[in-house]
A and B are shown apart, each in its own frame.
Chain A
Amino acid sequence: DIQMTQSPASLSASLGETVTIECLASEDIYSNLAWYQQKPGKSPQLLIYYANSLNDGVPSRFSGSGSGTQYSLKINSLQSEDVSIYFCQQNYDSPPTFGGGTKLELK
């Protein structure tokens, strides 16, 4: 199985700040990488697919980048509603596998 290593595990940032979350795959996943946001008690919501494509309705302050084994999610101008857990997921190879998650809190 492809291992997804996500960092940091937790992150504290101020309103208006820019934050970056990283995801490292154990092998090349050819940009088959998605990012999800999960708020407490809710189901995950797709933010980014194919590494850098913004899902419909997702604010433009979210962006994804990367290739090969290294990927990142950037949130510009952090808003209070962005407090969540973020997961990366590879869907290049079966089984699909997820990163361990990054808990984003407000400072």
Chain B
Amino acid sequence: EVLLQQSGAELVRPGSSVKISCKASGYTFTDYYMHWVKQRPEQGLVWIGRINPANGNTVYAEKFKSKATLTADKSSNTAYMQLSSLTSEDTATYFCTIWENWGQGVMVTVSS
């Protein structure tokens, strides 16, 4: 069974950074791009970017190029996304996904 297990909810201060994780199991980690998707409360889905876990190559949506940094650790089958310079606009749920399967989502709340 494919599982994407994400880290827990985060409450962070404006201007800070946060790093969330996505541990994959049940498939060969390096065979699929890992995508990250943002969903603000009661809103739609926005693609942030993707990483090829086999070689670390990344592609970002234009608006997230200076916001998100994607990495992957093949030794632990874990993908990471770091979000920097956080503002209230970053308050959202963040999903990792290989499209056929999705993590449960991480709610990031930016508040002082």
A96 contacts which chain B residues (CB < 8 A)?
Answer: 35, 47
Q: Looking at chain A, what size class is its interface with the partner chain?
A: 10 to 19
Contact in complex: B47, A46 (CB < 8 Å)? no
Known: A94-B59, A95-B61, A96-B35. A43 touches B46 (CB 8 A): no
CB contact between B95 and one of A43, A89, A95 (< 8 Å): that residue: A43
CA–CA, A97 and B99, complex, Å: 13
A94 contacts which chain B residues (CB < 8 A)?
Answer: 59
Min CB gap B33→A, angstroms: 11
CA–CA, A44 and B62, complex, Å: 23
CA–CA, A34 and B37, complex, Å: 15
- State the interface size on chain B (CB cutoff 8 A): 17
CB contact between B45 and one of A46, A55, A87, A91 (< 8 Å): that residue: A87
Contact in complex: A55, B100 (CB < 8 Å)? yes
Known: A43-B102, A44-B102. A101 touches B47 (CB 8 A): no
B101 contacts which chain A residues (CB < 8 A)?
Answer: 46
Contact in complex: B44, A87 (CB < 8 Å)? yes
A97 contacts which chain B residues (CB < 8 A)?
Answer: 47
Give the one of A87, A89, A95, A97 with max B CB within 10 A.
Answer: A95
Q: Bits for A79-107, please: 1 = Cβ < 8 Å to B, else 0.
A: 00000000101010011111111000000
A43 contacts which chain B residues (CB < 8 A)?
Answer: 95, 97, 102-105
Q: Which residues of B contact A (CB under 8 A)?
A: 35, 44-47, 59, 61-62, 95, 97, 99-105
Sampled A-B contacts (9; CB under 8 Å): A34-B99, A43-B95, A44-B102, A49-B100, A87-B45, A89-B45, A94-B59, A95-B62, A98-B44
Knowing that A87-B44, A101-B44 touch, tell me 5 more A-B residue pairs with CB under 8 angstroms: A42-B104, A49-B99, A95-B47, A96-B35, A99-B44
